[in-house]
Structure formats: C-alpha cells, structure tokens
Amino acid sequence: MKQKFKLSILFISILLLINCKISKTNKPLNILWLVAEDLSPYYLNAYGDSRANTPNLDRLAREGVVYTHNFSVSGVCSPSRATLATGLYPNSFGAQNMRTLNQQPAAREAGIIDYQAVPPPEVKMVSEIMRENGYYTTNNAKEDYQFFKSELAWDESSIYAHWRNRPNKETPFFSIFNFGVSHESKMWDFKKQIFDGVEFPPQRSVKISDSKYKNSHVPIMVPKDLKVEVPPYLPQNEIGQNAMRRMYTNIIRMDKGVGKILEQLEEDGLLDQTIIVWYSDHGGPLPRQKRLLYDSGLHVPLIIRYPEGSRAGERDSRLISFVDFPPTLLSMAGIQIPSYMQGQAFEGVFISKTPRTFIHGHADRFDESVDMIRAVRNKRFKYLKNFHPHRPYYLPLAYREKMEVMQELLRMRNAGTLDENQAQWFRKSKVEEELFDIENDPHELSNISDDPLFADVLASLRTECDRWIKAIDDKGFIKEVDLIKTFYPNGKAQLTRAPTIDIKKGKVTLSCPTPGGRIGYRYSSEKAPYKGWKIYTGPIEEKPNDTLEIITHRLGYKYGITSLANGIIGKTFYPPNRHDKKIKPGGF
C-alpha cells in the first residue's frame, strides 16, 4: 500500500512539473522518440548486461526512468509500427500480417498482393493529431505502417527530417529518429549504415553517392574472446557466441547514433525542454526471438528522460504495451486522447487511473509462412493460444535463413545433434494452449498448462485472451485473401474522393465526401520539402496568381491532389505507387 502511495506521489509530481512548465512558458514540451530495431532489453547495461559499451543509453537511464515491463504487440516491425502510429492493435483492423505493402515472392505465389490495411474512418496517425495541435512533426525515416503514411502526418518524413528544419524555432516539435544498425539484417550484412560515423542527418546538398557515404565493413567492436551467455535455444558453440558478439557490436553502433542526436539537442539548448523516449520496435534479432511471442520477441526496453532531472534513476515496473504509446504521447503534450484508441496513457496529463493487468500480443503471417497465435501476459505468467496446433513451431523463412546462426541450427537439426532446449522449436506440432512461469522460466521452455497447480492461472489468462479477441474484433480469423477484398474492391486501392470546393469573395471552403477523408492544402509559392501540407480547419484565401493545391486523404486509400488557380479548378490527380500494376487473373 505504501509503495502504491509513493508511486501516486511520483506521478502527480511529474504531472505538476509538465503543467507548470507549460503554464510558465506558454509553450508545450518537445517530444523526441529514438527508436532502435530488433532489440531485447536483456543485453543492455541499463537492464543488467554490461557487455556492450552504451554510454548514451546509460546516461538516459541515469537521468531518466527505466521501464522494466514494456511490450510490443508483435514480434516483428510492421504490425508494431501500425500500432505505434494509430493506437490500435494491428489485428483489430487487419494489419496483423507481415508485411502488407511489399510481399515476398512466395507470398505472391499464394495470391497475396501488395495492399494497404485500412483503419476505421475516424482513425488518424498520432503525428497528425500532434500537427493539428501546433507541433512540428518529423520522421527520420522508417515508415512501414502497413499502410502508406497519411500525407498530413508529417511536416517531413525523410533522411533529411529534423526538428532543426522547422521554420519557426519557437514551435514545439515531435520528432522520431530510427536506428537500423541493430536490425536482424545486420547480423549477416556487416556494413556501415549510411551516415554511420558522419554528419547525421545529411545536408540536402550532399549526394548519397558521395564517397564518404559508401558502405564499408564493420569489425566486431567487443573483444573476440568476450565471454557471452548464449540463450539455451541457440547453438552453444563458436557460431552462437559470434552471433552474440555481432549483436553487441550493433548495439554499440546504435548507441553512438543516439549520442549524435543527444549532442544536437544539447547544442540547440533543448535538452530540458524535451521529453526523450528511447525504445526498440520489438524483441531481439536472433532465431526464436524475432517474430515469436515469447518474451524474447515481445519484451522491449523503454527509457524516458524527463526535463530537469525529474524521476532520474527511477525504475518503473508497470505493465506497458505499444498500444499505450500514442495515447501517452498525446497525454504528455496535454492533448485529449481520441476515444477510438485502444490503449491507455501511462504518463502525462491524462494518465490512466487503472494500471494494466495484462498485455496482449499476436502472431500471424510472416512473409511466406503462416500461423496464428495469440498471447496474454501478466507480471509473472504468459499464455499462448495456438490456433493451428497441427503446424510446426518452426516455419521456414528465407530471410531469417541468411543468418549464420540460423543456418547452424538447421545443420544441427538435420544432423540430429540439437539438445533438448534447441530441439523444442523444431517440434512438428504444437499443443493448443501453453502456459509459462516467466519468473522461474525466463526463456519459456517449460509448458505448465497441464500442471494442476496453475489451473486457476490458466483459466484466468484463457478468459482474458477470449475477452480481448472479442473486444477488438480480431481480424486474424478472416482469410487474408478475403480481408484484402474488403480493402481493395475489384483488386484496386480505394480512392479518396476529390474535395467539394466553394469559392466566395476570395475565400475557399472545402469538404471531403469520403468518410474519414482529411483535407490539407499548400500554395505553390510556399512549397518546401520541410513544410508539410497545412491542415485545413476552415475557409482559406485564394491568392491571385498563385496555385492552391488541395489534398484529400483517408488512411488506407489513395490520396488525390486538386489544384485551384485563378478561380479554375483542375482535374484531381492520384499519384501512382507500386500497387498500381494490374493484378493477374486469380490474384486473390
């Protein structure tokens, strides 16, 4: 009880700090998201493993709050980013399959075309809501939301995007920087990422092909004889150890990228005017980590540094889900949270009064391999519901098999030399329900669903899984080819309709006939790559001898651009994308 009281006092304190800051300066705080890829918390100094030298993350942990129970909604990036962008579970609106926008050849052969998932009409990207409330928003530069970004979501989304580009330096910003050096692909592609070790972000005048940006080999950055702890499900040999050393090397590189952004924040005098949020997009890059619903795939690090040392050095053990990130972002900015969001704010002005009891996760199609699993976790136990128990645990994936350690696992499987822990992943079938005591079995190797001692726990988590599936109207039960038909009638993306335009006395009034369609505009004379479309809120001026461009866009639909010049309305143009190719007969 005393602990709960202390936590309440801390939460109230941070709310008072934020509200006081806003009221004193009449300016909201900036918010910065720094996003690593494919990284579990277990391998970081802030979470107890000091093998990788991460002075910048250590600083954030020392000056901020380390959240110990933060979870992705999926073990892979695209569905996770769909949630981070919208505040909805991916499987609540058909974004659960990896990936929708660019299919692997084997998926195409199965009739899965490139497509956008279509969120409900009321849904906006959270960055668009931030823009509506006066924030300058940038993304550098990964998108991958399972739908093409809203054209109103960012002032800029590119490798050049930066808060420094905002036209008015007094405007608060919400900026995201993504660090791909810890991605799974960097386990076999040992090359420097563009801008690693050079100016970041690059100047617009610099060509990507310039010699100083060319890729080069990255050596292992930890001692070659560093003693590492290889997870029991991976090869306990030199190949397994080298995989761990490569992963630690990539963590070190990622930390350097974080340091560059922190330096720029300090150079601009913005450190204590900015909430810094660092996290990874899902669990680790190694086999039986990425794509899976074990904690190795869902449990992710989260560190938040608040201005002026507030809560410095604290460790927060509340359960947090990615679906909570968008409402928390808005809450930190003092912006009312839309009712359609399925998460809850864990910080800020609108912090939820009821802490989470459970987090939820899903697994569906991963490239060419299809399965369906749902997960529910509380502080101690994990429940998995396998909807295709006749299918094996391990499903072949060409992309993952580029990794040497994955190749070694397959070699050992074929040679019959896997030990009991390693062989579990290669079982030919699954039980329908699994239960793990993560406190005593952190690698989730011992299924206790049949143990009568845990019958009540099993029943509780099973009930919660059923409740969640019904509450979000889980789209995983719809065949993907049928789901695509609802998004793409006649095999083509739906179009956001042209705006209705009314011109009176030099004022232009606009509306969009498409439910959920949003309207933006810009004048040709004011266009710049760092200036996003202005969000339409009411009648605007028709400027003589200047072209007014009007965009209409609903998420999941194609957007249209209509021009207006000297009272003449032009034809609506729908820019092409890679999905515009004709679908072959039988494509569905």
Catalytic residues: 77
381-386 sheet: strands from edge to edge: 359-363, 373-377, 381-386, 433-437
SS3 assignment, position 163: helix
State how beta strands 507-511 and 500-504 pair: antiparallel
What is the maximum span of the chain, computed from C-alpha positions, in angstroms? 82
Q: Is 172 buried (19+), middle (13-18) or exposed (0-12) by CB count in 10 A?
A: buried
User: Tell me, what DSSP letter sits at residue 533?
Assistant: P
Structure tokens at 133: 């409330």
**CA count, 13 A, side-chain hemisphere, 63:** 19
Which stretch of DSSP H or E encloses residue 31? strand 30-36
Give the span between the Cα atoms of 272 and 293, in whole angstroms. 37
Q: Write phi, then psi, for 361 (nearest 5 degrees).
A: -145, 165
- The residues, ordered by sequence, that sit 6+ positions from 511 with a Cβ below 8 Å of its Cβ are 499, 500, 519
| DSSP per residue, 432-454 | SEEEEETTT-TT-----TT-GGG
Give the span between the Cα atoms of 392 and 373, in whole angstroms. 12
Residue whose structure tokens are 């420097």: 192
Residue whose structure tokens are 């900036």: 30
Report CA torsion sign: 357, 363, 364, 367: positive
Structure tokens at 189: 């592609």
Q: How far from chain centre, in Å, is Cα 72?
A: 8
Looking at residue 203, its amino acid is: Q
Q: Give 518's strand partners.
A: 553
- The residues, ordered by sequence, that sit 6+ positions from 319 with a Cβ below 8 Å of its Cβ are 69, 71, 355, 356, 357, 358, 359, 377, 378, 379
Give the span between the Cα atoms of 146 and 85, in whole angstroms. 10
Structure tokens at 268: 């601009």
